[in-house]
């Protein structure tokens, strides 16, 4: 069994007890950084830094917050570099195992948190595409979001099935799970496609 592989910046950060109760879990924060990386027009730090905090958590100090900001920006750079190199080893290490469920579920929850929070930015970029491209890519987006939503909270997904459907759903999960890394890659590819239609597409490309 392999643990969820974090960007080095996050791995170092979570060695410090200072942040362990203030922030979401390390896999979820990794998912947040990944989700930010996939927004077609990457938002400014002040927009997304708040996504990493547990509700009602207390910030230790202003100096600590500045240090955290630097570490998260380093983490974002590492995530962007991994995406640029098509390095998805962090999710290839996942397995359909109860002890790892929280890891990949938390990661996916982080990605979906950002997608929902940045939905207007996704829509703004989406609207720059020709209608034919929108139709072509809408199915991919729906499939990616559906798959990530399912594995972000399997009990919730199962609760939405009728009793007659639940047995088939449970038996299908291990096979569906095998396509999760490909779903992550398709989501990234879709982000790049949408970003390519933005007016400042060259700037976005160099950031990625």
- Is 110 in contact with 31 (CB distance < 8 Å)? yes
Portion of the chain with pLDDT greater than 70, in percent: 91
- Confidence grade of residue 90 (pLDDT, cut at 50, 70, 90): confident
| Structure-derived torsion over alpha carbons of residues 166, 149, 82, 51, reported in degrees to the nearest 10 | -140
Shortest CA distance to 30 belongs to which of 114, 121, 136?
A: 114
Q: Which residue has the tokens 């490309």?
A: 205
Domain count, the chain: 1
The average pLDDT across 63-73 equals 90
Give mean pLDDT, residues 90-107: 80
Given a contact cutoff of 8 angstroms between Cβ atoms, the answer to whether 183 and 143 are in contact is yes
Using one digit for the tens of pLDDT, what is the confidence trace for 12-45?
888 877 777 789 999 999 999 999 999 999 999 9
Contact at 8 Å (CB) between 208 and 84? Answer: yes
In a domain, 199, yes or no: yes
- What are the beta bridge partners of residue 23? 53
Confidence category of residue 101, pLDDT binned at 50, 70, 90: confident
Residue 1's pLDDT band (boundaries 50, 70, 90)? very low
Q: Specify if 1 maps to a domain.
A: no
- The answer to whether position 3 is within a domain reads no
Contact 72, 120 (CB under 8 A): no
Pick the more confident residue, 158 or 1: 158
Residue range 187-207, pLDDT digits in tens = 999 999 999 988 865 444 444
* 94 falls within a domain: yes
- The H-or-E segment that residue 109 falls in is helix 98-117
* pTM score of the predicted model: 0.90
| Cα 99 to Cα 188: distance, rounded to the nearest angstrom | 27
- 84 within domain boundaries: yes
The pLDDT value given to residue 202: 43
- Structural domain boundaries, residue 84: 8-207
Residue 80 lies in a domain: yes
- Which residues contact residue 108 at a Cβ distance below 8 angstroms, ignoring those fewer than 6 apart? 31, 148, 149, 151, 152
Inside any domain, residue 32: yes
Q: What is the pLDDT of residue 56?
A: 65
Identify the residue whose tokens are 């027009």.
41
- Whether residue 46 is contained in a domain is answered as yes
Q: How many residues does the chain have?
A: 208
Nearest Cα neighbor of 40 from 145, 179, 188, 206 is: 188
């Amino acid at each position: 069994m392999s643990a969820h592989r974090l960007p080095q910046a996050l791995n170092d950060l979570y060695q410090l007890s200072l942040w362990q109760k203030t922030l979401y879990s390390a896999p979820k924060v990794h998912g947040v950084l990944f989700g930010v990386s996939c927004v077609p027009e990457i938002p400014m730090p002040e927009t997304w830094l708040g996504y990493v905090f547990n509700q009602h958590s207390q910030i230790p100090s202003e100096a600590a917050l500045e240090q955290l900001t630097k570490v998260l920006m380093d983490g974002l750079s590492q995530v962007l570099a991994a995406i640029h190199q098509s390095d998805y080893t962090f999710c290839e290490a996942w397995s359909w195992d109860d002890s790892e469920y929280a890891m990949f579920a938390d990661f996916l929850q982080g990605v979906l948190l950002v997608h929902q929070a940045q939905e207007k930015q996704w829509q703004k970029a989406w609207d720059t595409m020709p209608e034919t491209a929108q139709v072509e890519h809408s199915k991919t987006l729906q499939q990616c979001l559906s798959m990530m939503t399912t594995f972000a909270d399997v009990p919730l997904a199962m609760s939405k099935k009728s009793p007659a459907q639940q047995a088939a759903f449970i038996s299908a999960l291990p096979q569906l799970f095998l396509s999760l890394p490909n779903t992550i890659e398709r989501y990234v590819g879709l982000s790049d496609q949408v970003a390519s239609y933005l007016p400042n597409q060259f700037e976005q490309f160099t950031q990625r």
